[in-house]
Amino acid sequence: MANIVLFGPPGAGKGTQAVRITESTGLPQVSTGDMLRAAVKNNTPTGIAARKFMDAGQLVPDQIIIDLIEQRINEPDAIDGLMFDGFPRTIPQAVALSKITQVSHVIAIEVPDEKIVERICGRFSCTKCAAVFHDIFNPTKVTGVCDLCGSSEMKRRADDNETTVLQRLAAYHEQTSPLAEWYEQQGILSRIDGDREINQITQDILAALIA
């Protein structure tokens, strides 16, 4: 079983790269952010509990996340491994994951803080296939039409505003970034410069996965 973790600050390009890596590896993308947004939209107990944290740009409590992952990992398509996008984000989440399954590669996508706000504030994504675009850095070829699946239903996220982004960034530095060292000590962390052209980053990630 090959489980991969895509790690990095908000706007690093985790979702952008996940869609491309899924195409190459066949590993399903598991974004805890996407799972939580679906729960909020459907007004489930998880969504109701998570919403206030997400709106404030804070991390959702560990136990809510661990429960979501425990359910997801038992689904049939997880048998050959998963690609986690934005999970784990705290040491307790990583410890919980290590008790359920093994992680083979952690890809840390590194982008300087000063690039994050402009990336997040121009983002939109396809409602149907989750492909991620940017008004300036990664526009669709045809305005309003997804390059990947052709859908014309695009959406912007409720937490993609400057105030919340700065709070998400602070949460990343305080609670999530120490995990990079934790995984580095296990010898499974690859640091990738995420402040480059999207295709170059994909190539480096794929190379790191077979190294």
Residues forming contacts to ligand AP5 in the complex (CB under 6 A) are 8, 10-16, 31-33, 36, 53-54, 57-60, 65, 86-89, 93, 119-120, 122-123, 132-134, 137-138, 168, 194, 196, 198, 201
- Nearest Cα neighbor of 139 from 127, 158, 128, 126 is 126
Residue nearest to Mg ion (CB): 15
Exposed / middle / buried, residue 75 (Cβ in 10 Å: 0-12, 13-18, 19+): exposed
Residue nearest to ligand AP5 (CB): 33
DSSP character for 172? Answer: I
Of 10-18, 40-48, 139-147, 185-193, the window that binds Mg ion (rule: CB under 5 A) is: 10-18
Amino acid at 118: E
- Nearest Cα neighbor of 107 from 1, 3, 25 is 3
Q: What is the distance between the alpha carbons of residues 62 and 97, in angstroms, rounded to a whole number?
A: 11
Of 11-19, 178-186, 191-199, 203-211, the window that binds Mg ion (rule: CB under 5 A) is: 11-19
Q: With respect to ligand AP5, which residue has the nearer C-beta, 16 or 190?
A: 16
Provide the annotated active-site residues: 14, 89, 123, 157, 168
Q: With respect to Mg ion, which residue has the nearer C-beta, 23 or 95?
A: 23
SS3 109: strand
